[in-house]
Amino acid sequence: MKMILAVLVALSGIASATGQGQLTFYNHVPGVVDTRVYAPLTSNPYLHQIGNGPSDTPAGTTDWSSFTKIGTDTTGGPFGATNTLGQLLGAPGTDQAESSLQLSFPITTFRTGIAAGLVAGVTATFNNISWQSAATMEMVAWDNSSGLYPTWTQASIAWDEGIIAAGKSGTFNIVFGNFAQPLEVLAGLQSFNLYYIPEPSPLWLAGLGIAVSLFRRFVPPAR
C-alpha cells in the first residue's frame, strides 16, 4: 500500500511541472476512492447501472453481486483485462455538458485477480484543461476484443450501433492540483458496468417508416 501511495504522489508531482492538466487515472486509492468496472450482466446484457456498492469507497447501496468484474476470468477474450480499454474525458469548469468533454491520453487496460475491475494506473493528460483548475470528468470503458475499436471515437459509434458493449461512469467534478489532498483527484468516480445498446426492433422501424410516409403525404413540400 505504501508503494502505491508513493507512486500516486510522484505522478501528482509530475503533473505540477507541466502546463497541461494531468492526474493519476486509477480507481483504487485507499481511503479516498475505490470503485470497480463490471462486464455486462449475463442474464440481461442491456442492463446498465452506476453507483457504488457497500464495499466501495465511499460506500453506496448499488447491488453488484450478480456482476463480474472486468478482468476476473482471463486477460484475453471479451471483457478480459487486456482487451477492455478505459479512458478519461474532461472539460474545464464544473458541471459541464457531457458533449463538451474531450479525451485524455493515454488509453489504459485493466488488471486481473484480486485487482479485477481496476484500471492499470496511468498519468492521464488533458490538453484542454490547465493545471490547478476545476474540471468536469467522466470515465469510459469498452470491449476491444475484436481489435477493431482501439479508440473511444470508434468504439462509441460501434456501441451506439449495438455491436460492442461499453459503459460510462457519469460525470463528476474535480480540481486539478489540489496540493492539500493530492490523491483525491478522482473522488466522485463511481462504479459502473459495460452493457449493450439494443438495436431498434423491426416493429419500431416499421412504425418509423409509416410515420415518415404520413408526414410526406400530409405535409406539402417547401417551395
Of 196, 195, 191, the C-alpha closest to 63 is: 191
Bridge partners (DSSP) listed for residue 184:
none
- Quick one: which of 87, 67, 108 has its CA closest to 195? 67
Query: Tens of pLDDT along 8-26?
Result: 444 444 444 445 788 889 9
Q: 98-112 pLDDT, tens per residue?
A: 999 999 999 999 999
Query: For 49-93, how does the pLDDT look when each residue is reduced to its tens digit (9 = 90+)?
Result: 999 999 999 999 999 999 999 999 777 789 999 999 999 999 999
**How do the domains of the chain map onto residue ranges?**
2-218
Beta strands in the chain (DSSP E): 20-25, 28-29, 33-34, 37-38, 84-92, 102-103, 122-130, 134-143, 166-168, 172-175, 192-193
